[in-house]
Amino acid sequence: MRTFRLVIACPDRVGIVAKVSNFLATYNGWITEASHHSDNQNGWFFMRHEIRADSLPFDLAGFRQAFAPIAQEFSMDWRVTDSAQKKRVVLMASRESHCLADLLHRWHSNELDCEIPCVISNHDDLRSMVEWHGIAFEHVPVDPQNKQAAFAEVSRLVEASQADAIVLARYMQILPPQLCQAFAKRVINIHHSFLPSFVGAKPYHQASLRGVKLIGATCHYVTEELDAGPIIEQDVARVTHRDSIEDMVRLGKDVEKRVLARGLRLHLEDRVLVHDNKTVLFD
């Protein structure tokens, strides 16, 4: 069913739900899903509604125009999207294939409702797998002595792809600040630890040295601060003293795949609201 997804964050006060509900009722809007959350600590209110598109008398542009006065009245940070307009997602990876292969499989099986215009990689190892899916593979090597040139090409490819989002599916390079800023809240990364524990490189090695009993993975939005962006999704796997680093890597890969796929799906369905450095998920 084609729906319009209305997502709102604003200072909390009396009358928000009533005003939005009355607006939709006035135009005969048929609500198929409604979610609300009031953050009493910070005084903010969050809302997500799905409305049947065929129940409304206007298109997306008409919805935005009609709703704008209410958004202004309540100082809303808001957006409305059309479920029929698939988001365009550029995937980025290096040599490890497990996260990329999982996303491509889910996309091929119609589990992820998006378009993938291309995959960008700093190595050529995964070309055949990507091209088997009929997706363009862009090899952009990164010279450690001149990373700026590579990321200028990455930026050009992302812009040419008209990307709505970027997913770092084990892309083992740090994005430059300008790309993080240009795609704020739209660059999704998978980090192979349960953040904020074990940031940076080789987290499984760090976890083994620390003797942890749980390892995990974290899907988060990328910011200029390494591995510190708003967290979208996390999960864990239990380990023991018997597990080697290689065992942890093997177990962790399964967690990484699940967490990244869930996080991307939440993003594609406009179920993630970011406020400060935290997220509200209407799953």
With beta carbons less than 8 A apart as the criterion, state whether 217 and 252 touch. Answer: yes
Question: CA–CA separation, 10 vs 273, rounded Å?
Answer: 11
CA 240 to chain centre: 31
Say how many C-beta atoms besides its own lie within 10 A of residue 274's C-beta: 16
Say how many C-beta atoms besides its own lie within 10 A of residue 217's C-beta: 27
SS3 129: helix
In sequence order, the β-bridge partners of residue 88 are 115
Distances (CA, A) of 79 to 5, 10, 26, 27, 184: 8, 12, 20, 18, 15
**Among 192, 189, 170, 193, residue whose Cα is nearest residue 180:** 189
Question: CA–CA separation, 94 vs 141, rounded Å?
Answer: 10
Question: Catalytic: 283?
Answer: no
SS3 218: strand
SS3 226: coil
Question: CA–CA separation, 44 vs 40, rounded Å?
Answer: 7
In sequence order, the β-bridge partners of residue 81 are 5
- The single residue of 102, 227, 243, 270 carrying the catalytic annotation is 227
SS3 136: strand
Cite the active site residues.
227
